[in-house]
């Protein structure tokens, strides 16, 4: 195993399962660490999560530092920041990576300011500069209208990484690594208390995993229109997404907002209905394999993003489209 | 804390990168705005003021700030505006911004809650609120959709991917606000007139006990190496028909023949 640890990945586990973004981070970390000639460490925080360590090793970690404590069952800003600070001090990495997830968005900046470390959030590309050996962290800015590459002279250098931007390594059960327990465990008393959790029901396929996503925008005009989209995804075995404009109007739950500040999806097929294709929305779906647009405005930006499109009122175009799709799939 | 930014709703394509300056610029026809999440942060504070009273101070950091833009929170109902305005504040990153804002908040001194937007609509970093909390030693709840104060504690609904969490914290605390909070109120005519009469307080680095080397470009802990616009090949195949219905049918056929369906 490599003598020093170059990259530390912060793992996320939910319901005993390692989050896809963690495996993506490990894939990216492996590449960066190989360029630096060091190892990959992974921080595993939670309660009753020890089993995940092997999986992290199979996907590229050389060392897993486990902090398993009843007090870490739920993510809380105070407790996780304290534990991650201790893990960083124990592993002393050049680079710390987190997912740009609900947890990473909160934990990343706090940890960075605690450590005095430079952080680039929501990165879509990571590389090592050949000369300086510094991390080159590239991220979309201005809602996705431009991209910027950042470096920092601090140690560690930090980045949070957008989901689905990196490629995980296939699991290799023969990979070896060591599992350590974080010790000493820092004080994890929290000022915050989590007093309730309210779940929004999701029917059918989960948006982030759906092979087909049909999203509606402001032009849908009301909740009734979204029922049409629901019928279409039932045929396509997909999920319905929405723009922020549609969610803010209460036509569709905010938990299905696609975009920069919503969910990131990368389905085989993304059908954009009556939405203009703002850069902030495209940030959440530009990884789709095929993009189809239905919009009545031929000048709408979505036609600059889509591969196939129809210019027309969705109220007329969509029912005929849905009918034909059903016929084709039944054949 | 509210930031002035180029209008993020300007059509994609109207933004251009000015490579020399490492800046993204919008044509003059687009007026800058208060970053949308920051208007929602002001709204969150106003709702608490409506329910419980109190006063709201808004802090904005930048240079050449447009008075009619930065006064918007005042016209919505905030009480005071402090501008950290100086050429030394230009070109900062989240680190140098937090240094200056934290010093200004300490100088203001007395507060129960600090509100920020979840992220500024220009650089989309989403760091300053959390960084401020860390530097000021405050508890922080990010991505709030509802904020209530009771008996010296604050109760926050924090948006998470599958719903929301209810988190309670002692005050003082820092909250970052998301759009799920709801539309910010419009400025009333009375509010606009009152805001026009109010003079913002302007502080320079020295007023905050800071050296110019700690703020703006000089105080960064990250370097902007490159700013660029990825080129896109726009090649959309428009499927046409005699009627919109026919176009819909033909679109399905086209997707089938392209093996997308
Ligand atoms: C910091 C920040 C973060 C943001 N994050 C997100 C995000 O995560 N996700 C997101 O979606 N947005 C986000 N936004 C908002 C974003 O800027 C846009 O305002 C939003 O995406 C617009 O939604 P829309 O396309 O539905 O509406 P509009 O831009 O109003 O477009 C409506 C479209 O519908 C078409 N139309 C109208 N009627 C019909 C009809 N009958 N048939 C066919 N077409 C019709 C119109 O031609 C138009 O193109 C964010 C904004 C900011 C500033
Ligand atoms: N220059 C600034 N002036 C006032 N507030 C700011 C400034 N920069 C950032 N903020 C606050 O911090 C939040 C997050 O900003 P950022 O980390 O830059 O995305 C914003 O929504 C504002 O509330």
Ligand 2 environment, Cβ below 6 A: B 1-3, 35, 37-38, 41, 59-62, 94, 97, 116-117, 119-120, 123, 125-129
State residue B19's pLDDT score.
67
- pLDDT for the residue numbered A201: 79
Q: What is the pLDDT of residue B104?
A: 98
> B81 to chain A nearest CA, in Å?
26
Which residue's CA is the closest to the ligand 2 atom numbered 12?
Answer: B128
pLDDT digits (tens, 9 = 90+) for A141-176: 999 999 999 999 999 999 999 999 999 999 999 999
**B170: contact with A, CB 8 A cutoff:** yes
Q: How high is the pLDDT of residue A2?
A: 43
Transcribe A132-151 into DSSP letters. T--EEEEEEEGGGTEEEEEE
Q: Give yes or no for residue A8 having a pLDDT over 70.
A: yes
Q: State how far residue A9 is from chain B, nearest Cα, in angstroms.
A: 19
Q: Does the Cβ of A164 fall within 6 Å of ligand 1?
A: no
- pLDDT (tens digit, 9 = 90+) per residue, A262-292? 999 999 999 999 999 999 999 999 999 999 9
Contact A212, A289 (CB under 8 A): no
Distance from residue A172's CA to the centre of ligand 2 (Å): 43
pLDDT at A1: 43
| pLDDT top residue among B16 and A233 | A233
Q: Which of B221, B257, B258 to mutate to test the interface with A (most CBs of A within 10 A)?
A: B221
The interface residues of chain B toward chain A in range 194-253, judged by CB-CB distance below 8 A, are 221-230, 232, 234-241, 243-249, 251-253
Hey, are the CB atoms on A101 and B161 less than 8 Å from each other? Answer: yes
Q: Return the higher-pLDDT residue of B28 and A230.
A: A230
| Distance, CA of B251 to CA of B238 (rounded, Å) | 9
What is the reported pLDDT for A95?
A: 98
The angle subtended at Cα A200 by Cα A9 and Cα A249, nearest 5°, is 105
E strand segments, chain A: 5-10, 13-14, 17-18, 39-46, 63-68, 95-99, 119-123, 125-128, 135-141, 146-151, 157-161, 178-181, 193-199, 212-216, 239-242, 269-273, 290-295, 308-311
Q: Which two three-digit tokens encode residue A135? A: 């991390």
Cross-chain CB nearest to A136 (options B95, B161, B225): B225
Q: Which residues of A touch B241 (CB under 8 A)?
A: 310
Mean pLDDT per 10-residue interval, chain B, length 261 residues: 95 80 80 97 98 97 97 97 98 98 97 98 97 98 97 96 96 97 95 95 98 97 93 86 97 96 89
Q: At A217, which helix (H) or strand (E)?
A: none
Across the interface, do B8 and A280 touch by the CB < 8 Å criterion?
yes
Question: Which pLDDT score is estimated for B11?
Answer: 86
Residue nearest to atom 40 of ligand 1 (CA): A313
* Alpha-helical segments (H) within A59-168: 77-91, 102-115
Closest Cβ–Cβ partner in A192, A248, A328 for B167: A192
Minimal CA separation from A175 to chain B, in Å? 33
Mean pLDDT computed over A123-137: 97
Residue A13's alpha-carbon distances to A49, A52, A72, A307, in angstroms, are 8, 8, 12, 36
Cα torsion angle, B252, B255, B259, B261, sign: negative
Given a contact cutoff of 8 angstroms between Cβ atoms, the answer to whether B77 and B46 are in contact is yes
Q: Which of A260, A262, A285, A293 to mutate to test the pocket of ligand 1 (most atoms within 8 A of CB)?
A: A260
The number of the ligand nearest the C-alpha atom of B96 reads 2
Q: What is the pLDDT of residue A314?
A: 98
Pick the residue whose CA is nearest to atom 2 on ligand 1: B121
Number of H helices, E strands in chain A: 9, 18
Of B134, B136, B112, B116, the closest CA to residue B125 belongs to: B116
Closest ligand 1 atom, residue A261 Cα: 8
Contact B232 A195 (CB under 8 A): no
Q: Locate B44 and state its tokens.
A: 């969150």
């Amino acid at each position: 195993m490599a003598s020093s640890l170059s990259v530390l990945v912060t793992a996320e586990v939910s319901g005993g399962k390692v989050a896809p973004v963690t495996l993506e981070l490990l894939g990216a970390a492996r590449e960066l660490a190989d360029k630096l000639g060091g190892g990959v460490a992974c921080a595993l925080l939670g309660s009753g999560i020890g089993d995940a360590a092997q999986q992290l090793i199979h996907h590229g970690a050389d060392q897993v530092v486990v902090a398993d404590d009843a007090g870490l069952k739920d993510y809380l800003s105070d407790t996780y920041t304290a534990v991650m600070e201790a893990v960083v001090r124990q592993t002393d990495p050049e680079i710390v990576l987190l997912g740009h997830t609900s947890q990473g968005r909160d934990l990343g900046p706090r940890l960075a300011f605690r450590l005095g470390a430079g952080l680039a959030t929501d990165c879509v590309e990571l590389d090592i500069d050949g000369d300086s050996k510094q991390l080159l962290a590239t991220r979309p800015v201005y809602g996705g209208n431009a991209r910027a590459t950042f470096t920092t002279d601090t140690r560690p250098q930090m980045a949070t990484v957008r989901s689905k931007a990196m490629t995980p390594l296939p699991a290799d059960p023969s990979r070896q690594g060591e599992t350590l327990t974080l010790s000493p465990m820092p004080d994890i008393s929290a000022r915050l208390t989590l007093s309730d959790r309210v779940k929004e029901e999701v029917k059918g396929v989960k948006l982030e995993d759906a092979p087909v996503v049909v999203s509606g925008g402001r032009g849908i005009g009301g909740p009734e229109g979204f029922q049409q989209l629901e019928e279409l995804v039932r045929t396509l075995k997909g999920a319905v997404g929405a723009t922020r404009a549609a969610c803010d109007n209460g036509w569709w739950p905010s938990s299905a907002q696609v975009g920069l500040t919503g969910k990131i999806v990368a389905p085989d097929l993304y059908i954009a209905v009556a939405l203009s294709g703002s850069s902030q929305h495209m940030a959440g779906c530009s990884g789709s394999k095929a993009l189809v647009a239905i919009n009545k405005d031929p000048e709408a930006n979505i036609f600059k993003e889509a591969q196939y499109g129809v210019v027309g009122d969705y109220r007329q175009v969509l029912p005929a489209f849905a009918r034909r799709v059903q016929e084709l799939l039944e054949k | 804390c509210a930031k002035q930014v180029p209008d993020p709703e300007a059509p994609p394509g109207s933004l251009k990168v000015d490579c020399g300056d490492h800046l993204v610029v919008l044509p003059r026809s687009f007026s800058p705005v208060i970053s949308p999440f920051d208007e929602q942060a002001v709204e969150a504070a106003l709702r608490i003021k409506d329910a419980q009273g109190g006063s709201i101070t808004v802090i904005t950091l930048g240079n050449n700030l447009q008075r009619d833009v930065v006064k918007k929170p005042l016209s919505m109902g905030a009480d005071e505006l402090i501008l950290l305005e100086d050429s030394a504040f230009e070109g900062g990153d989240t680190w140098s911004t937090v240094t200056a804002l934290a010093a200004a908040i300490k100088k203001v001194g007395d507060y129960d809650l600090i509100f920020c937007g979840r992220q500024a609509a220009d650089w989309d970093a989403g760091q300053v609120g959390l960084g401020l909390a860390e530097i000021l030693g405050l508890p922080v709840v990010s991505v709030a959709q509802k904020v209530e104060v009771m008996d010296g504690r604050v109760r926050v609904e924090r948006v998470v991917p599958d719903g929301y969490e209810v988190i309670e914290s002692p005050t003082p605390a820092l909250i970052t606000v998301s759009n799920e909070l709801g539309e910010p109120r419009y400025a009333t005519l009375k509010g606009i007139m009152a805001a026009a009469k109010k003079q913002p307080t302007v502080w320079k680095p020295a007023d905050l006990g800071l050296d110019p080397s700690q703020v703006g470009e000089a105080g960064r802990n990250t370097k902007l190496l490159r700013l660029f616009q990825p080129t896109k090949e726009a090649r959309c195949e428009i499927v046409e028909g005699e009627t919109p219905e026919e176009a819909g049918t033909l679109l399905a056929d086209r997707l089938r023949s392209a093996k997308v369906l």
